[in-house]
């Protein structure tokens, strides 16, 4: 006789998502993969360079908080079980990024964003709404988000202090992972989002970036 599978109610699923959110924002995240910075010597010594690198990595950490929330929100409202599982797999990659960025910020004697709960809650709501628009629209949201994230990381690669190889290794691995997520979404049949939606996403990300740089 096959084992019984318990189907979670909406209330159960929401409780699970609240738990995920609390663990993402408040708990120490643990990466499944070694940090790309492992074995690379620390070279950033000047106080101003350390502050600059820490601020950039704090922005990246905030972005990963938002990415976790987006994927979890989209998974909650996805119609296809296969898409839901793909979104949760991508979220696990983002957990690695989250842990790597947090570790790097701490190494630079700084802190992560004070507004992490806001980044998570807002992004979760956006992800859930994207999921309600349908699976192909949700995939389009993933593809566009990851395209913009890759651009953002390319800029950070250039903006990091010269010689900060530890941060740069992390940023480049994140770039590769985000590109992979975006390509997978396109191959799965993502719709291209309207230009107005793409621009709204860009402006929202820009506002978050500027705020997280300081807070």
Domain residue extents for the chain: 13-20+44-214
pLDDT mean over 166-185: 94
Tell how far CA 43 is from the center of its chain: 27
Residue 90 pLDDT grade (very low, low, confident, very high; cuts 50, 70, 90)? confident
Angle at 184 between CA 182 and CA 185, to 5 degrees: 65
Answer yes or no: are the C-beta atoms of 160 and 53 closer than 8 Å: yes
Answer yes or no: are the C-beta atoms of 62 and 208 closer than 8 Å: yes
pLDDT mean over 151-158: 94
Provide the greatest CA pair distance for the chain: 66
Residue 3 pLDDT grade (very low, low, confident, very high; cuts 50, 70, 90)? very low
Tell whether domain 13-20+44-214 is in CATH 1.20.1260.10: yes
Quote the DSSP letter at residue 211: H
Tell me the C-alpha distance between 98 and 20, whole Å.
Answer: 14
- Report which of 193, 104, 99 is spatially closest to residue 141, judged by C-alpha positions: 193
Residue 44: both structure tokens together: 């950033």
Give the pLDDT confidence of 96-119 residue by residue, as tens digits. 999 999 999 999 999 999 999 999
User: How many CB atoms within 10 Å of residue 7?
Assistant: 7
Quote the DSSP letter at residue 46: S
User: How many CB atoms within 10 Å of residue 91?
Assistant: 21
């Amino acid at each position: 006789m096959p084992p019984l599978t318990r189907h979670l109610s909406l209330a159960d699923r929401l409780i699970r998502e609240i738990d995920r959110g609390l663990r993402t924002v408040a708990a120490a995240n643990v990466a499944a993969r070694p940090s790309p910075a492992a074995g690379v010597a620390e070279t950033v010594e000047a106080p101003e360079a350390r502050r600059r690198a820490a601020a950039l990595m704090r922005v990246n950490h905030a972005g990963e908080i938002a990415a976790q929330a987006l994927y979890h929100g989209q998974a909650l409202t996805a119609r296809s079980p296969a898409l839901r599982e793909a979104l949760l797999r991508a979220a696990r990659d983002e957990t690695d990024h989250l842990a790597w960025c947090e570790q790097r910020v701490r190494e630079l004697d700084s802190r992560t964003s004070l507004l992490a709960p806001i980044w998570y809650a807002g992004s979760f709501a956006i992800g859930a709404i994207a999921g309600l628009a349908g699976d192909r629209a949700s995939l389009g949201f993933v593809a566009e988000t990851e395209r913009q994230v890759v651009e953002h990381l390319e800029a950070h690669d250039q903006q990091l202090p010269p010689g900060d190889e530890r941060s740069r290794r992390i940023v480049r691995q994140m770039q590769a992972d985000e590109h992979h997520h975006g390509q997978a979404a396109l191959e799965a049949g993502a719709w291209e989002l309207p230009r107005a939606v793409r621009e709204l996403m860009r402006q929202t990300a820009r506002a978050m970036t500027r705020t997280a740089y300081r807070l």
